[in-house]
Amino acid sequence: MAGIAYVNGRYLPKAQATVNIEDRGNQFADGVYEVLKVIDGRLSDGDRHFARLHRSLAAIEVDPPMTDRALEQVILETVRRNRLEDATVYVQISRGAAPRDHLFPRDTLPSIMMTARRLKRPDPKAYADGVGVVTAPDLRWLRCEIKSVSLLANVLAKQAAAEDGCYETWLTRDDGVVTECSASNAYIVDASGVLRTHPLSSLILGGVTRSVVLELARAEGLPVEERAFTTAEVDTAHEAFLTSTSSWVMPVVRVDGRAVADGTPGPVTRRLQQAYQAHVFGNRAPTGLSVAASAAAG
Ligand SMILES: Cc1ncc(COP(=O)(O)O)c(C=O)c1O
């Protein structure tokens, strides 16, 4: 457990970085979080992550424990103290510690904790060849727009995918609508060539990567509709993919064991992989990830 964590004003070796036993984040999952990338010592899409953090905190009625500027400094310092340049940072803010009671006290100081690790990159083979996903009922609560640390349903869904040899679980509501995945947003290019993803609502987490990728797609002149799709529509889709801060734009080539189109990543997915990498890394040296030869065709 090497590394330095930030906890409530202190930078400590992880083994010594502790929170109060009665922290409400621990007892009630009464807290929210963000996962961000730091690239070349700068936050990647920091404004979007901070905006979402503010929305999550407001939804649970917790005041931000520090200004955005201070939070940025602490994130960068945590990365620096871990001797990292490119990093994935986990930031968690809970309501703080108080004697256990469902009712929350209004006067607790929020707890803030942070860890940093070497930048998580998508697995190169998965990124080039695509991954399989399974589908399963979306068993989560109805406030999925809050980036809550209460992730039990997500954890179980992700584990079920792995045990089926798959990368992710696409979560479905009763009508077969795909909301999102256990830890990422879901997309198809439908039978008419339109890029579709579930609209923003309390049924999904508005991914930062989702917002970036939709902007990039529109800038590329691709037809985009924030309109839900069903599992039945996946059968006739031309392409599928998923996005997140850690998975970037990950091609999905099998859903429940059935190939999506010809079972290889499609041209729209390839273009968006390239556009997203350029967005994150600019003109910097290769990231060690390549999109397959078919990208050129896109
Ligand atoms: C449920 C869920 N949806 C979507 C995402 C993708 O969000 P982002 O692109 O901000 O990483 C995540 C990321 O953790 C998530 O947990």
Cα-to-centroid distance, 242 and ligand 1 (Å):
10
**Is the CB of residue 251 less than 8 Å from the CB of residue 241?**
yes
DSSP letter assigned to residue 135:
E
Q: What's the CA gap between 91 and 104, in Å, rounded?
A: 22
Q: Which of 92, 145, 172, 184 to mutate to test the pocket of ligand 1 (most atoms within 8 A of CB)?
A: 184
Helix (H) or strand (E) holding 13: strand 10-13
Specify the pLDDT at position 44.
Answer: 98
Give yes or no for residue 205 CB within 6 A of ligand 1.
Answer: yes
Residues 6 or more apart whose Cβ sits within 8 Å of residue 107: none
Q: Count Cα atoms within 13 angstroms, Cβ side, for 233.
A: 23
| Nearest CA residue ID for atom 13, ligand 1 | 183
88 lines ligand 1 (CB under 6 A): no
Residues marked as catalytic: 147
Backbone angles phi, psi at 42, to 5 degrees: -130, 150
Name the residue among 234, 241, 191 with its Cα closest to residue 214.
241
Rounded Cα gap, residues 181 and 134, in angstroms? 10
Q: How long a stretch of residues is the chain?
A: 298
Mean pLDDT per 10-residue run, the chain (298 residues)? 92 97 98 98 97 98 98 98 97 98 96 97 97 98 98 98 98 96 98 98 98 98 98 98 98 98 98 98 72 42
Is any atom of ligand 1 closer than 6 Å to the C-beta of 146?
no
Range 9-16 contact pairs with CB under 8 angstroms and sequence separation of 24 or more: 11/77, 11/78, 11/81, 14/115
Q: Say what the pLDDT of residue 71 is.
A: 98
pLDDT of amino acid 294: 41
Q: Which ranges in the chain belong to alpha helices (H)?
A: 24-28, 46-59, 68-81, 124-129, 152-163, 208-219, 231-234, 267-281, 294-297
E-strand ranges in 100-184 read: 111-118, 131-137, 168-172, 177-181
Same fold: 4-118 with 124-297: no
Task: Give the CATH H-level superfamily of domain 124-297.
Answer: D-amino Acid Aminotransferase, subunit A, domain 2 (3.20.10.10)
Q: Does residue 183 line the site of ligand 1, with CB under 6 A?
A: yes
Q: What is the CATH number of domain 4-118?
A: 3.30.470.10
Residue 245 Cβ inside 6 Å of ligand 1? The answer reads yes
Cα separation, 161 vs 16, in Å, equals 34
Q: Which residue's CA is the closest to the ligand 1 atom numbered 1?
A: 183
pLDDT confidence of residue 295: 41
Give the atom of ligand 1 at the shortest distance from the alpha carbon of 211: 9
Residue 67, token pair as written in the block: 């200004």
Contacts of 77 (CB under 8 A, 6+ apart): 6, 11
Residue indicated by tokens 């009508």: 175
Query: What pLDDT is attached to residue 236?
Result: 98
The residue ranges of every structural domain in the chain are 4-118, 124-297
φ and ψ at 76, to 5 degrees? -65, -35
